[in-house]
Structure 1
Amino acid sequence: MENNPSIQMEKLIREICSKVKSEGRKVLKEFNISPAQFDVLQTVYFKGPKMLSDISKRLGVTKSTTTGLIRRLEIAGYLVREKSKKDKRVYVVQITQEGTNIIENVIKNRVKLMEKVYEKLGEKERSIEILNEINKILNEKRGEI
């Protein structure tokens, strides 16, 4: 591993995020939904009802790709499209209870993994403090990055 602490930190966080993400996404096989579809579901679950263009920008994919993902999720009953109350020309995408259930199952899987990790940690409280500190700094820097 590189001696530069910033490089070490980036690599460790990337590896941790990847492992947590993988563990959570194991649930997706039960629901027959793709990782890309799951990204759409997550966006609407955590950010609330969104216009297609907002989802497209957030995920960094074309509107046509987003439309296809949303259509498949709508057919499966995980999302609904409704006309905006503010502008009747625009559709807003909302998550259904079935879609919410998928997200909550993924989160449960991730929490189970974190419980196993937490049990094995030394200095548990300090570990959480450090993670909170990193998160706080990243949130403060978000506007600058």
Structure 2
Amino acid sequence: MATIDLGEDPLALDRQVCFALSVAARSVIAIYRPLLKPYGLTHPQYLVLLALWDTAPRTVRDLCKTLRAEPATLSPLLKRLETLGYISRERDRADERALRIDLTEAGRGLRKEAEKIPYRVVEELGMEVAELEALHKALGRVIAATER
């Protein structure tokens, strides 16, 4: 195995991957806030809707797995989305233990409006789509490495 060289100061804050990821995540999510506000959505709620726009209905367990979230984290988000009228929650008839989440008509209709959001984010970031795709691919590798 090759020797890992982390330079003269491996604890320098500005060289830490965790720091760069943390600041970048907060900064990108901040771009979403004003874009989601007209719909009454937070970024985590938007992620739930993205998962449901991809596949609906879904169980809470499936959403947790897809979003890499705990049920205790997801539950309040789902309740709020239901209050907003974007989703419905009901027990699965085949398995009473499973809670089935589906989009309402308003939730399905919101998708058309939400299609504008990624374009606005790319504009705000001022980066090339290819550069963002490469970043996404690299982050996918980081995620995969942490899930071993």
TM, length-normalised to structure 2: 0.59
Query: Which aligned pairs between 1:15-26 and structure 2 lie closer than 5 A?
Result: 15-26=23-34
Q: Is the 8 A contact 2:88 2:102 kept in 1?
A: yes
Residue 94 of structure 1 is matched in structure 2 by 102
Moved more, 89-98 or 72-81: 89-98
The answer to whether the 8 Å contact 2:57/2:103 transfers is yes
Residue equivalent to 2:69: 59
Q: Which amino acid aligns with 2:12?
A: E
Q: Secondary structure at the match of 1:27?
A: helix
Superposed CA RMSD in Å reads: 3.9
8 A contact 1:23–1:109 mirrored in 2: no
The one-letter amino acid paired with 2:100 is V
More relative contact order, 1 or 2 (CA 8 Å, 6+ apart): 1
Contact 2:33 2:42 in 1 (8 A): no
Classify 1:108/1:17 alpha carbon distance in 2 versus 1 (closer, same or farther; 3 Å). Answer: farther
Shift of 1:81: 2.4
Task: Identify unmatched segments of 5+ residues in structure 1.
Answer: none
Q: Which residue does the alignment assign to 1:14?
A: 22
Superposed CA deviations along residues 93-139 of structure 1, whole A, max 9, x for unmatched, are: 012353355566556334323234226xxxx85x4575255234225
**What's the counterpart of residue 134 of structure 1?**
138
Structure 2, unpaired ranges of 5+: 1-10
Give the percent of matched residue pairs that are identical in Structure 1 and Structure 2.
Answer: 21
Letter in 1 for 2:147: G
Matches within 5 A, 1:27-38: 27-34=35-42, 37-38=45-46
Task: Tell me the distance in 2 between the aligned counterparts of 1:37 and 1:129.
Answer: 23
